[in-house]
């Protein structure tokens, strides 16, 4: 028994504590952002929860939200995106509340949606007629060329960017939108860092991004943006995977106090990602009901199918 105890203590002594990162925290975060941009596909879980309090005397006096999103996405081919998402949202305003469960699937041709649950009371009351739309897959065709815009260029690599767009990318990778970056410790297989949002850095980034697309931002607009951002406070806990160097989790609180009327908002967010660069497949729902563009715009034309399906009756107005 004594020899076993000695052996156990010896093995414990041989275990090495993971090394603390030697780079300055701000530099380590900048490197993690750059590494994470190499992620073309991943799974994700997002949780957003919080309250908005109205100015005194206004109703509803308090609005609360609890949103969760999970799924996976693939942008390895920017013009042929793939994504699967499940969302659950609960919204309340004083004594009234509502809940929705939604599933989305996206490929280059269409967005498919299925509202599984939609319930509510008071101001969120759901008409009985809405039940006919629940538990069914609806297809919204995506017009050709929808993924040719400037946003997808950032997924195609530096060669696809203009010099101005490359500046935007470099600025984001520099981590200048964060300040007070600190190394917190080693947690599991991650390095844990903390930071706060640099509001000036964010404003500069927004201006740079706008001007890279030809939009001139005036001094008055810049000043107004800084005024709007002043009441915003955001803390960020970042978790960097020690093996891949990629950001695997972001979490923290966000708060805002409107300076004139006194409305306040306080939220928490928690985002985790994984399964980096693993294949993503999107299963096209069988017999999805198609919603034509006319129906989507709310102005169906005489003789235009409002809903169609390969196995359902076509409704014509």
In CATH, the architecture of 22-285 is Clam (2.50)
Domain boundaries, the chain: 22-285
How far apart are alpha carbons 189 and 193 in whole angstroms? 13
Confidence of residue 16 (pLDDT cuts 50, 70, 90): low
Judged against a pLDDT cut of 50, whether residue 62 lies above it is answered with yes
For 164-178, the pLDDT digits (tens) are 989 999 999 999 999
pLDDT of residue 261: 84
For 125-139, the pLDDT digits (tens) are 999 999 999 999 999
Nearest Cα neighbor of 112 from 80, 147, 136 is 136
pLDDT of residue 200: 94
- Segment among 3-7, 191-195, 200-204 with least mean pLDDT: 3-7
For the chain, the distance separating the N- and C-terminal CA atoms, rounded to the nearest angstrom, is 86
Q: What is the mean pLDDT of residues 78-88?
A: 93
Tokens of 105: 């699937």
Q: For 91-103, b where at least 16 C-beta lie within 10 A, e where not — what string? A: bbbeeebbbbebb
């Amino acid at each position: 028994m004594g020899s076993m105890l000695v052996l156990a203590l010896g093995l414990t002594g041989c275990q090495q504590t993971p090394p603390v990162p030697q780079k300055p925290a701000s530099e380590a975060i900048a490197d993690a952002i750059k590494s994470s941009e190499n992620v073309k596909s991943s799974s994700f879980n997002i949780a957003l929860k919080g309250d908005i309090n109205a100015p005194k005397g206004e109703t509803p006096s308090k609005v609360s939200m609890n949103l969760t999103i999970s799924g996976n996405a693939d942008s390895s081919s920017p013009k042929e995106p793939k994504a699967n998402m499940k969302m659950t949202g609960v919204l309340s305003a004083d004594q009234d509340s509502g809940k929705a469960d939604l599933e989305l699937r996206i490929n280059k041709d269409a967005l498919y949606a299925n509202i599984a649950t939609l319930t509510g009371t008071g101001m969120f009351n759901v008409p009985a007629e809405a039940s006919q739309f629940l538990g069914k897959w609806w297809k919204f065709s995506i017009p050709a060329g929808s993924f040719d815009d400037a946003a997808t260029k950032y997924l195609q690599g530096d060669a696809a960017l203009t010099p101005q767009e490359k500046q935007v990318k470099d600025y984001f990778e520099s981590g200048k939108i964060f300040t007070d970056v600190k190394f917190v410790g080693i947690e599991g297989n991650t390095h844990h860092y903390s930071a706060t949002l640099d509001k000036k850095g964010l404003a500069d980034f927004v201006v740079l991004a706008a001007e890279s697309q030809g939009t001139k931002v005036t001094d008055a607009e810049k000043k107004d943006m800084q005024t709007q951002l002043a009441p915003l406070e955001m803390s960020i806990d970042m978790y960097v995977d020690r093996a891949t160097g990629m950001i695997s989790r972001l979490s923290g609180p966000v708060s805002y106090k409107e300076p004139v009327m006194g409305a306040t908002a306080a939220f928490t967010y928690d985002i985790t990602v994984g399964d980096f660069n693993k294949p993503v497949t999107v299963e096209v729902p069988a017999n999805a009901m198609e919603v034509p563009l006319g129906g989507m715009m709310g102005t169906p034309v005489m003789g235009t199918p409002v809903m169609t399906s390969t196995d359902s009756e076509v409704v014509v107005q």
